[in-house]
Structure 1
Amino acid sequence: MRADAERNRAAILAVAGRLICEDQLVNVSMDEIAAAAAVGKGTLFRRFTDREGLIRALFADRTERAWAHARALAADPTVPVTDRILGFVATVFDLCAGLQPLLRALPEGCHTRTWAPWHTVLADLIAEAAPESDAEFLTLAIFATMRPEITGALTPARHRTGVLTLTARILDPG
Structure 2
Amino acid sequence: MPENSNGPRSDSATPRDPASAPGPTPLELLRTPPPKERADAARNRAAVLEAAARLFAEHGVEGVSMDQIASAAGVGKGTLFRRFGDKSGLATALLDAKERTLQEAILHGPPPLGPGAPDAERLVAFVAAYTDYLLDHLELVRMSETASRGARYRIGAYRFWHQHTALLLSRSPDPAVTAHTLLAALSAEHVTAVLAQVGEERLRDGLVRLARAPA
Scaled by the length of structure 2, the TM-score of the pair is: 0.59
Native 8 Å contact 1:103 1:110 kept in 2: yes
CA distance in 1 between partners of 2:59 and 2:125 (Å) = 26
CA distance in 2 between partners of 1:118 and 1:22 (Å) = 30
Identical-pair percentage: 28
Q: Which has the higher contact order (CA 8 A, sep 6+)?
A: 2
Are positions 1:5 and 2:74 aligned together? no
Partner of 2:190: 149
CA distance in 1 between partners of 2:105 and 2:83 (Å) = 33
Query: What do residues 68-118 of structure 1 show as CA deviations (whole Å, max 9, x unaligned)?
Result: 632541564334433432333244443483411333434442236753342
Offset at 1:121?
1.7
Q: How does 1:30-49 map to 2 (within 5 A)?
A: 30-37=66-73, 39-40=74-75, 42=76, 44-49=77-82
Could you say if the C-alpha distance between residues 9 and 146 of structure 1 is closer, same or farther in structure 2, counting changes exceeding 3 Å?
same
CA distance in 2 between partners of 1:140 and 1:100 (Å) = 17
Q: Match for 2:168 among 125, 130, 135?
A: 125
Structure having the larger proportion of residues in helix: 1
Native 8 Å contact 1:73 1:87 kept in 2: no
Q: Match for 1:136 among 156, 166, 176?
A: 176
Unaligned 5+ segments in structure 1 are none
Native 8 Å contact 1:16 1:33 kept in 2: yes
Could you say if the C-alpha distance between residues 74 and 125 of structure 1 is closer, same or farther in structure 2, counting changes exceeding 3 Å?
farther
Instruction: Please give the root-mean-square deviation of Cα atoms over the aligned residues, in Å.
Output: 3.4
Partner of 1:89: 127
Scaled by the length of structure 1, the TM-score of the pair is: 0.69
Q: 3-state SS of the aligned residue for 1:105?
A: coil
CA distance in 2 between partners of 1:144 and 1:69 (Å) = 19
CA distance in 2 between partners of 1:80 and 1:27 (Å) = 44
Partner of 1:100: 142
